[in-house]
Structure 1
Amino acid sequence: MTVPVSGAVVVGYDASEPSKIAVEWAAADADRRGVDLVVVHAARRLKGRDDAGGDEGADAIAEEGAERARERVPGLTVHAVARKQGPAAALQELSADAAVVVVGHRGRGRLAAGLVGSVAFTISAHAQCPVLVIRGNSEHLPGPDRPVVVGTDDSEFAAQAVAGAARLAASTDARLIIAAAWDVPEANPWSAAYLANVNATEDAAHAAETEAVATVERAREAVLAEHPGLTVEVGTQRGRPEHVLADASEGAGVLVVGSRGHSDLVGLLLGSVSRAVLHTANCPVAVIR
């Protein structure tokens, strides 16, 4: 069958609790965007709950997810799709035309919808559209009481993440919080260089903090040029970026990161920082490319 994916929200579903939450979050997101929702159950061997095999059971699981979405958002156009292929491959294929792909942070069986290190990590790294990995519960949506938080390191990919986060904040009446982490290598107290200049580390820390402040201010100016009415807050903190962003995600509706970064300001490189926050964030994580 032809799947009406173009511009739709696509969500992976395997009947696990995290995938149920992902479907509800995706339904609300599709409603906000005014687009269709496509609920996908995928496994190389399609199975029903009794593991007896067969397409019928897989179709039923996909339809169950679709019905959950319809209950969450009555009137939403929802399509149920079962695919006889690996879940990462299925979602990656559908991402070519989707507005966003949504997965839970964990799953079960072959789908493992969003198990960090497998499906969620693979989709976050290779999808052709933004990816949302849902952590927490479905009530954690961006809005007036739950800001959108985005990390930046002044890279091209971070700029794309900031722009995407700003659009999301503007469309949900949420505040936008732009955060940057900074740090300096620890000096060896026994080295000759350290003994010769005990202020070297302090000077480097001051320079790193100054650059971080300049980075978030540049990002704020860029956002306000496009969204003059948006409430934008900025903050910097010393520490590893994954720790800083995880802390900033507390109480947020979504944490946004870029798919790549650079090391000039402790880069947001998928596989390190982005992968780390998929594990530790206190809210859904959006990976923007």
Structure 2
Amino acid sequence: MRELPLVVGVDGSEPSLRAVDWAADEAALRGVPLRVVYASLWERYEGAALAADLGKPSEQVRADDIIEGATRRARARHPGLKVSADVLPEEPEYALVREGRHAGALVLGTRGRSGIAELLLGSVSLTVAAHAHCPVIVLRGSHDNQVTPAVRGCVVVGVGEHSDPSAALRFAFEAARRRGVPLEAVRAWRRPAHETTDHPLLSGGPTRVYEEQAAKTLEAALRDAPEDVEVRRRTVEGPARRVLLDASHEADLLVVGARRREGHLGLQLGRVAHAALHHSACPVAVVPERV
């Protein structure tokens, strides 16, 4: 069975070229081809004026330069890597979501060429992560442009309330195995506010109940953990968003799930994935979970 390629979106910015480095490392680690994609309708808004000044079709020249530069960069980083590239004259979010139908994962940077472009690219990353049919990896935080060797030496995955092994967990197992690092599975838990008590002799009981319940959920989710991956189990009291963002400071990759309902047209991310995409201290992999 043919392996699906890894797809990286580029826009000519330095952060997007750093994403090419990261994606090339990941594709080489997986043993799959890398596909570099530039998608834009920029010429509608800026291309005509520049074309008149330069006496040539500026957008096409610009697009070719971006895609050729990114492709050369990937091949120079991994000479044996199979790299293909394409220029798509359409809105990037639509092009990338469609590319995701035939990709093992999508890789995106987080910044554009200017203050306004940063906002636009942030919107693209958010839209793609919320609608893609494959995992979307957004390169946040300090990742040193590399997948291996590991910078912090750990992959972190958030485990939700369902005890069945999830697509996010399976993705995280593979990511840790490929990198040769431990997987830290984190289950956040909270005691309901109506059960809070200030009495020191009463406060410990309910706390233990919810902590034990979180530990059981975590253990059930990890029941099929592969033997060749070191798994560290953590239950932490607090909101899942804060717990996972804290954990991201010690991780090379943070993996979160995003539940998707067929026929639903809005952004399907959830609060945890949304917070991770905006604030994580390391790259974030958003893995769709079909429900």
Which bracket does the TM-score occupy, shorter chain normalised? 0.7 to 0.9
Map of 2:135 onto structure 1? 130
For 2:164 and 2:183, the matched residues in 1 are separated by: 18
Matched pairs, number: 268
Cα offset, 1:113, TM superposition: 9.2
For 1:119 and 1:139, the matched residues in 2 are separated by: 21
Aligned residue runs from structure 1 range 133-282, under 5 A: 133-135=138-140, 136-141=142-147, 146-155=153-162, 159-187=166-194, 203-223=205-225, 227-260=226-259, 270-282=269-281
SS at match of 1:146: coil
Map of 2:38 onto structure 1? 41
SS at match of 2:12: coil
> Residue 25 of structure 2 contacts residue 146 of structure 2 at CA under 8 Å; is this kept in 1?
no
Q: Identify if the C-alpha distance between structure 1 residues 199 and 88 changes in structure 2 by more than 3 Å, giving closer, same or farther.
A: farther
Cα offset, 1:25, TM superposition: 0.4
For 2:108 and 2:208, the matched residues in 1 are separated by: 40
SS at match of 1:259: strand
For 2:40 and 2:117, the matched residues in 1 are separated by: 6
Cα offset, 1:11, TM superposition: 0.5
For 2:163 and 2:208, the matched residues in 1 are separated by: 24
Cα offset, 1:201, TM superposition: 6.4
Question: Alignment identity in percent?
Answer: 37
Q: Identify if the C-alpha distance between structure 1 residues 114 and 251 changes in structure 2 by more than 3 Å, giving closer, same or farther.
A: farther
> Residue 38 of structure 2 contacts residue 88 of structure 2 at CA under 8 Å; is this kept in 1?
yes
Map of 2:55 onto structure 1? none
For 1:64 and 1:113, the matched residues in 2 are separated by: 24
SS at match of 1:273: helix
Say which of 58, 63, 71 aligns to 2:68. Answer: 63
1:82 maps to 2:84: no
Q: Identify if the C-alpha distance between structure 1 residues 179 and 57 changes in structure 2 by more than 3 Å, giving closer, same or farther.
A: same
Once the two structures are superposed, residues 136-193 of structure 1 have per-residue CA deviations (whole angstroms, 9 ceiling, x without a partner) of 234452666521110011437972111110112112211111001111343499xxxx
Question: What stretches of structure 2 of length at least 5 have no aligned partner?
Answer: 52-57, 261-267
SS at match of 2:224: helix
Which TM-score applies when normalising by structure 1? Answer: 0.82
> Residue 18 of structure 2 contacts residue 109 of structure 2 at CA under 8 Å; is this kept in 1?
yes
Which range moved further: 106-115 or 25-34? Answer: 106-115
For 2:275 and 2:7, the matched residues in 1 are separated by: 24
Once the two structures are superposed, residues 12-60 of structure 1 have per-residue CA deviations (whole angstroms, 9 ceiling, x without a partner) of 1112122111111000011111111111111123478x95443222121
Cα offset, 1:6, TM superposition: 7.0
Map of 1:121 onto structure 2? 126
Which TM-score applies when normalising by structure 2? Answer: 0.81
CA RMSD of aligned residues (A): 3.0
